Amino acid sequence: MRTETLTFERPADRVAHEPPEVRGRSRDDVRLLVTIGGEHRHARFGDLARFLRPGDLLVVNESAAIPASLPAASRLGDILVNLCTRFQDDLYVAEPRWSAGKQGPLPVKPGDDLRIGAAKVRLVAPYPGIPRLWFVHADRPFGSLVEALGRPIHYGYTDEWPMGVYETLFSRAPGSAEMPSASRPITPNVRDAIAEAGVRILPILLHTGVSRLEIESPTVESQAMYPEPFAVSPETALAVNRTHAAGGRVIAVGTTVVRALESAWTPAGVRPVRGFTRLYVNPDRGVHAIDGLLTGFHDPVTSHMALMAAFLGIDGVRSAYAEAVRGGYLWHEFGDSHLVLRGPPAAG
């Protein structure tokens, strides 16, 4: 697929700049666009359970965001180093940036040294195929730097908020560079309504990296991906397979869950697995392990758009996003939600 296929028009003001709770509203006080079989319905996130059926399975990511943005001193002046993926205590893939609002690539080269607090950090090698990202090695554990100096990663369209804003009801294991944001609007009330609807919620783990991966190659499929640590437990793998066998729907809460389940997928079903994945879910590869996706609204020409096109078809994404633009839905991690389901809707 040609990369420009993933472009779409969106007015510049359709971005959520702050989480609803800073204005005293509930986290679930956001809108929900429901796309089923090419048709769209407008709802509130609090009504999520109405669109689920007994025997459906929701799969969430239990990874928690860490304050992964570190201030660094370099020969270019003061910069940011946003940690992306942990390989070892002293070796990460990271994104050196000019600032929160201004991304790289920076004019740096292998062997260049940075200072982060008292630590000496060396740029080891650029990440192959993604020039913004570098392998970085520190003379002490990055964890100690995160603890002392780390701030939550944020970008130009929103302020930095307290760490609690980036936690979800399912956050268990710290390690993500950015929060898995699709489950952010799930409040205890919404979770209880889901349970009352006869729908189970089970976790996978995927420590997500820096989110804004623009596709820079001429075709969608040839874009390089960076790896992310992930695990699908035997219990979750079994529940996914049993849900499918019983005719229920497996609904991924977030693109991170899609990546984890698809990485664990075989034609015989989903299997337990623990490792690193850089599986690229795109229209060529398709989507096999899920029947539904609860997510946010994604930027044009990104790997997330490629995933949406893999699940919905590019015409389906265009139709849904045109509806979201017409309806005034808000983009990004504090914005509105989008539920995409295969098959007919539940009553209600």
Partner 1 sequence: MSGEARPERVALITGASRGLGRVLAGFLARQGYGLVLTARGTSDLEAVAEEVRNEGASVAAIGGDVRDASHRQRLLEAAIAWGRLDLLVNNASELGDSPLPSLEKASRETFLRVLDANLLAPIALIQAATPLLARSGGLVVNITSDAAVGGYPGWGVYGASKAALDLASKTLAAELRDRGVAVVSVDPGDMRTKMHQDAYPGQDISDRPLPEVTLPFWAWLLAQPRMAVTGGRFQAQAAVWEVPT
Q: Which residues bind partner 1 (CB under 8 A)?
A: 87-88, 90-91, 93, 110-111, 122-129, 135, 137, 225-227, 263, 272-280
Of 211, 291, 278, residue with least CA distance to 252: 291
d(CA 87, CA 14): 36
Task: Return the number of the residue (129 or 328) whose C-beta is nearest partner 1.
Answer: 129
Least distance CB 60 / partner 1 (angstroms): 21
HSE-up of 123 (CA within 13 Å, CB side)? 23
d(CA 236, CA 257): 12
Residue 315 C-alpha from the chain's centroid: 22
Task: Return the number of the residue (15 or 224) whose C-beta is nearest partner 1.
Answer: 224
Least distance CB 302 / partner 1 (angstroms): 18
d(CA 192, CA 52): 13
Least distance CB 122 / partner 1 (angstroms): 6
- SS3 of residue 70 by DSSP: strand
Task: Return the number of the residue (260 or 330) whose C-beta is nearest partner 1.
Answer: 260
Q: Write out 292-323 in H/E/C secondary structure.
A: EEEECCCCCCEHHHHHHHHHHCHHHHHHHHHH
Task: Return the number of the residue (137 or 288) whose C-beta is nearest partner 1.
Answer: 137
Task: Return the number of the residue (21 or 90) whose C-beta is nearest partner 1.
Answer: 90
Of 283, 273, 213, 261, residue with least CA distance to 58: 261
d(CA 170, CA 64): 8
Least distance CB 126 / partner 1 (angstroms): 8
Residue corresponding to tokens 């800073």: 22
Q: In 10 A of CB 51, how many CB atoms?
A: 21
Task: Return the number of the residue (146 or 320) whose C-beta is nearest partner 1.
Answer: 146
Least distance CB 141 / partner 1 (angstroms): 13
Least distance CB 5 / partner 1 (angstroms): 22
Angle (CA) 115-117-123 rounded to 5° is 30
- Phi, psi angle pair for 319, to nearest 5°: -60, -45
Task: Return the number of the residue (53 or 271) whose C-beta is nearest partner 1.
Answer: 271
Counted residue by residue, the chain has a size of 348
Least distance CB 257 / partner 1 (angstroms): 16
d(CA 311, CA 293): 9
Burial of 144 (0-12, 13-18, 19+ CB in 10 A): middle
Least distance CB 94 / partner 1 (angstroms): 12
Task: Return the number of the residue (135 or 161) whose C-beta is nearest partner 1.
Answer: 135
- SS3 of residue 200 by DSSP: strand
d(CA 315, CA 189): 34
| Beta strand pairing call for 200-206 and 57-61 | parallel
Least distance CB 148 / partner 1 (angstroms): 22
Task: Return the number of the residue (225 or 310) whose C-beta is nearest partner 1.
Answer: 225
